[in-house]
Every structure is written in structure tokens, then in C-alpha cells.
Amino acid sequence: MARLGVPASRVSLAVILIWVGELKPLGLSPAGPLVEATVGWMPVFTPTQWVSVIGWWEVAIGVTFLPLVMRPETTFQAGAGIPS
């Protein structure tokens, strides 16, 4: 469990962020109306456009976690567990 726990946590976090993020731009997220009601004050885009921006941002964050799983020796400094 100790050997697989951290990589499994990283993969699950990436999958969840990508999955939830993809639902927002497709209009399938149950959180879409809540996000629209929350971002109405933000400039540049309409609330509906902000939902898409936030959704794609979540996808980008999820994709960024994948190198942590695939290449941890490149992503982290030796022995420190700190991203390099």
C-alpha cells in the first residue's frame, strides 16, 4: 500500500479534476448554475463563459498532475519530495 498509495492518489486527483472540469464547458455540471451565480461580478466574460474558462482551467490542473505520476523522478528533487 505504501508503494502504490501516493501514485494512486495523484492519478485519482488528476482523473477527478479532468472529469469535473470537462463537464462544465459541456453544460453537464450540476455546479454550473452555482458557478454562474458566483462569477457574475467578474469582468471580461459573461458568467456562462466563465464557467467554461473555469472548467478548462480544472482540466489543465488535472493534466499537470499526470507528470507527477508518470515521471516523479524528474518532477521532484531527490529525497526532498519538493517539486523542482
d(CA 51, CA 31): 9
pTM of the model: 0.74
**For residue 48, is it within any domain?**
yes
Dump pLDDT digits (tens) for 30-69: 999 999 999 989 999 999 999 999 999 999 998 888 877 7
Confidence of residue 80 (pLDDT cuts 50, 70, 90): low
Q: What is the pLDDT at residue 21?
A: 92
Nearby residues of 11 by Cβ (< 8 Å), 6 or more positions away:
69
**For residue 28, is it within any domain?**
yes
**For residue 84, is it within any domain?**
no
Give the three-state DSSP class for 24: helix
d(CA 4, CA 28): 32
Q: What is the pLDDT at residue 71?
A: 76
DSSP label at 81?
-
**For residue 17, is it within any domain?**
yes
Q: Are 22 and 55 in contact (CB under 8 A)?
A: yes
Q: What is the pLDDT at residue 60?
A: 93
**For residue 2, is it within any domain?**
no
Q: Which is more confident, 7 or 31?
A: 31
**For residue 23, is it within any domain?**
yes
**For residue 82, is it within any domain?**
no
Count of domains in the chain? Answer: 1
> 31: domain range?
8-75
**For residue 65, is it within any domain?**
yes
